[in-house]
Amino acid sequence: MATFVLIHGAWHGAWCWERVTPLLTQRGHTVSAPDLPGLGQDRTPLGSITLDLWARFTADLVRAAAEPVILVGHSRGGIVISQAAEQVSDRIRALVYVAAFLVPSGESLASTLPRVPREPGRPPDLLLSEDRSTSVLRAESVPATFYNTTAEDWVARAGSLVGTESMKPWLTPMSLTEEKFGRVPRVYIECLRDRAIPPTLQRLMVADLPCSQVLVMDTDHSPFYSAPETLVVHLASIAEAA
């Protein structure tokens, strides 16, 4: 059995893992799925949010675990788990990127996203605040971009729970070394019908930072809601291999 730490993506919170956590615990695994500071039920002021804060928060969870963990990041959570691994590489059995940003040192999420151009005429998925320091999702982007293969009731639930995201971590370059981050095995879970991080971009990121294994799911960007049973099978197989 394994210990999993599940890190959610942008605008989301611990709630997004609610279909995954019980399935993992039923298999005998230990699971921690926190709200990152400033998101979900956490009330940390958004003006104080940095990538370093999220990485230290995650690293502290890893240190507190009874054993080395499988550290999983979804979407924007990818930059968080990578940066946390730089601090606690000896406490991580594997890093798992679920349709997540896998960004090399010196680059940022913001510099990585435009590598694959958006479809011509497609409106942006997010609305920036006047000072561009935070963002929220456009209501129409929840079903169209993030949950396009998810059942309607779960799409509605997600739409009612997504919140406001600090943009500062998106702009922060990664600071990673081969001696720390680079020593941890990486697994990528690619989502074929993802409209938030297109499969083309997912493959480009893996080409830049190769993973020991790439698993493929025929889902949207949010397999924790659209295909939780299959996602758990993949996570359990990763734990077994690790």
Give pLDDT tens digits for 89-98: 999 999 999 9
Torsion region of 183: left, alpha or beta (phi above 0 gives left; psi -120 to 50 gives alpha): alpha
Strands 30-32, 3-7: parallel, antiparallel or unpaired by DSSP? parallel
- Give 192-223 as a DSSP string: TT-SSS-HHHHHHHHHHS--SEEEEESS-S-H
What is the predicted pLDDT for the residue at 120?
86
CA distance readout (Å), 212 to 80, 139, 189, 200? 20, 37, 11, 19
pLDDT band at 242 (very low <50, low <70, confident <90, very high): confident
pLDDT greater than 90 at residue 118: no
pLDDT digits (tens, 9 = 90+) for 171-196: 999 999 999 999 999 999 999 999 99
pTM of the model: 0.98
Helix (H, G, I), strand (E, B) or coil at 20: coil
Q: Angle at CA 176, nearest 5°, toward 175 and 180?
A: 145
In the block, tokens 């497609």 appear at 122
CATH architecture of residue range(s) 3-241: 3-Layer(aba) Sandwich (3.40)
Tally DSSP H helices, then E strands, for the chain: 10, 9
Distance between first and last Cα of the chain: 11
Domain boundaries, the chain: 3-241
